[in-house]
Amino acid sequence: MKPLRLATSFASVSILIALAPAVAQSQGHGCAEGAAGLGDRYFPTYGNGGYDVRRYDLDVVYRPATDRLRGRASIRARAKRRLCSFNLDFVGLEVGEVKVDRRQARWRRDDHELTVLPARPLKRGERFEVVVRYAGVPVGSGLSGFMRTEDGANVAGQPEAAATWFPVNDHPLDKASYSFDVTVPNGYEVVANGRPRGRDRSPGGMTTWRWRAGKMASYLATIDVGEWDVRRWRTEGGIPVYDAVDSALTGGLRDEIDSSLARQEEMLDVLTPSFGPYPFNALGGIVDNQSNLFFALETQTRPVYSKYFWLNSQGEPTNGDFVVVHELAHQWFGDDVALARWRDIWLNEGFATYAEWLWTEDQGGPTPRATFQQLYDAIPTNDPFWSLRIGDPGADRLFDDEVYVRGAMAAQALRNEIGRADFFRLLRKWTSSKSGGNGTTGQFIALAEQVSGEQLDDLFEAWLYTPAKPETSQISGGTGRGDARRSAAGGWLEVVQQRLRRHGRY
C-alpha cells in the first residue's frame, strides 16, 4: 500500500473517568501497568504492552444516513505479566461501559488511549475477556481510517486505522483473529475480510452481515458498507474468491476493473513460484466509487482499491492490473509476514513493487533486471531519489516513492548478487519460516546470508542505509531468469511516478 497519511492529531477528546460500581482497585498487589505502546520508535503510542490479543469479536451497527456507529467489542487476550491496568488504542468514539471477565471495570481516556483498570489484578498467563461498548461518529481524517462514502463507508488506512472504529492493540506485532457482525439498514451490503458466514434480518428494517477472518494485523481489518455487485468464484486450486465492485461503476471503467479482478488467478500463478503457496483461505477485492479514496490497501484476503487506478491522467479507462498484482503480493509480504517495526516498511513495499516487475516480464515486457538497469541509468547521482535511507526512512517518509522503487531495486540487486536460484529460494524460505508472524530487516539479511552462503553486509548497507547512489559494484553479479532478453524498460519510473501523483499512493 501507499496511502495518504492518516492524521495522527485527532480532535482532542476530553479525559473521561467512568466509575463503575466495582470494587476499587487496591494498591500493593505487586502488579504492573500495561505500557501505552509496544516500543516502536516511529509510533511510540501504537500498540500496548502487557498482554496479547487472541481474538476480536466486533458487533457493529452503522447507519450511513447519520454516519453514526454503535459497537460492542469483545477482546479475548492473555496477560503477559501481572497487570493492575492495561491500555487499548481508541480514538474519538465515546465509551459507555467496560467489563473485564463480566465484571465492571474502571477506565479513563485521553486522545489515543483507553486505560482499563479491572476490578482485580490479572495474573501472569491468565486468559481474560474485555468487553467495551461504545458509540458515536468515527473521527478518521476523511481520507483514511473509517471513511464515510456516498453510499456507505469504507475502512482502510496505514499505519493507523483500526483505532478509529474499535478499541484495539494497534500494532502488527499483536496479530489476532476476527469476527465481524455488522448491522446496517436493509438495502446496504457489507464486505469484510475472510469468508462470509451468512446474514440475518433484524427488527426495524436492519440486516446483520457476518464475516470471519483468520489471524491478522489490526490495520488490515476492514468492513465496507455500500451497494455492491458481487462475483463469487473459485480458483482452480479451490480458493474461494469474493469480489465486490460498487454498483455505480459502469461502462468502460467497470470493464477494466472486472478484467483486472478476473485475472487474480493468473497473477497467483506468477507469484506463487516466487513467493510460495498463497497463504490464506480466501481471496478477492473491493472497489468503491468513493471520490476521495486515493489509494489501495492490502486489507487481508480482500484488498480495498481506489477506482482511480483504472483511470489515466485524462480520466479515461485504462488497464490497472499492476495495482492488483501489488496488493496480492502484500498477502505474503506485509500480511502473512508482517512487520515487527514500521521502519522496515521496505520489506513490504519493495517486494510488492518487485511483484509488478515479475508480472510485467510474464506479460512479455522487460525483465526485472532490465527494468532495474534502466532505472539505475536514468536517475542521476545527484537526484534526491538516492538520499532516502529506505531501511530506516523516518515516520514521515514511510510511504515515499523511493521506499517502493528503491526497495524493488534492492531486491533485484540482491538477485544479481546471489543468483536467481538462491534469490527465490530465499523468498520462499522467508515466507514459509515467518508465516503467520513478523519479521525484521536484520532477520531477512541473516536468512539471505544463510541461504546464499555469502556475506551481504556491504550490499544491504549500500541499498538500504546509505543516502547515495550505490556504486556499480553493488549491481553486478549473477543473472536473473530471462536476463538475456534485455528490452528497454520504457520509462517505468516516470510512468509509476505519474500514477502516484495522479492517483494517490498504494
pLDDT value of residue 328: 98
The whole-angstrom separation of Cα 410 and Cα 406 is 6
Structure pTM? 0.90
Helix (H) or strand (E) holding 393: none
Largest CA distance in the chain: 75
> pLDDT by residue (tens digit) across 234-267?
999 999 999 999 999 999 999 999 999 999 999 9
Q: Give one DSSP letter per residue of 47-73, joined into a string.
A: S-SSEEEEEEEEEEEEETTTTEEEEEE
Instruction: Reply yes or no on domain 227-331 having CATH 1.10.260.40.
Output: no
CATH number of this structure's domain 14-226: 2.60.40.1730
C-alpha of 254 from chain center: 25
The whole-number pLDDT of residue 30 equals: 83
What is the average per-residue pLDDT within 109-137? 97
Q: Quote the pLDDT of residue 494.
A: 53
Domain boundaries of the chain, sorted by first residue: 14-226, 227-331, 338-503
227-331 and 338-503 agree in CATH topology: yes
Q: Residue 220 — very low, low, confident or very high, per pLDDT cuts 50/70/90?
A: very high
- What is the tens place of the pLDDT at every residue in 276-308? 999 999 999 999 999 989 999 999 999 999 999
| 274 Cβ contact list (under 8 Å, min separation 6) | 355, 358, 424, 427, 428
Q: pLDDT digits over 26-49, tens only?
A: 344 589 999 999 999 999 999 999
| Interval 200-217: pLDDT, tens | 998 899 999 999 999 999
Class of domain 338-503: mainly alpha
Using the CB atoms, write b or e for 217-226: b if 16+ within 10 Å: bbbbbbbbbb
467 neighbors 386 (Cβ within 8 angstroms): yes
Q: Measured between alpha carbons, how far is residue 430 from residues 223, 281, 347, 406, 448 in Å?
A: 30, 20, 11, 20, 9
> Which residues does 26 contact at the CB level (< 8 Å), separation at least 6?
none
Closest CA relative to residue 8, chosen from 42, 33, 35: 42
What's the 3-state SS for 84-134?
A: EEEEEECCCCEEEEEEECCEECEEEECCCEEEEECCCCECCCCEEEEEEEE
What pLDDT digit, counting tens, does each position of 362-409 carry? 999 999 999 999 999 999 999 999 999 999 999 999 999 999 999 999
With H, G, I as helix, E, B as strand and everything else as coil, classify residue 76.
strand
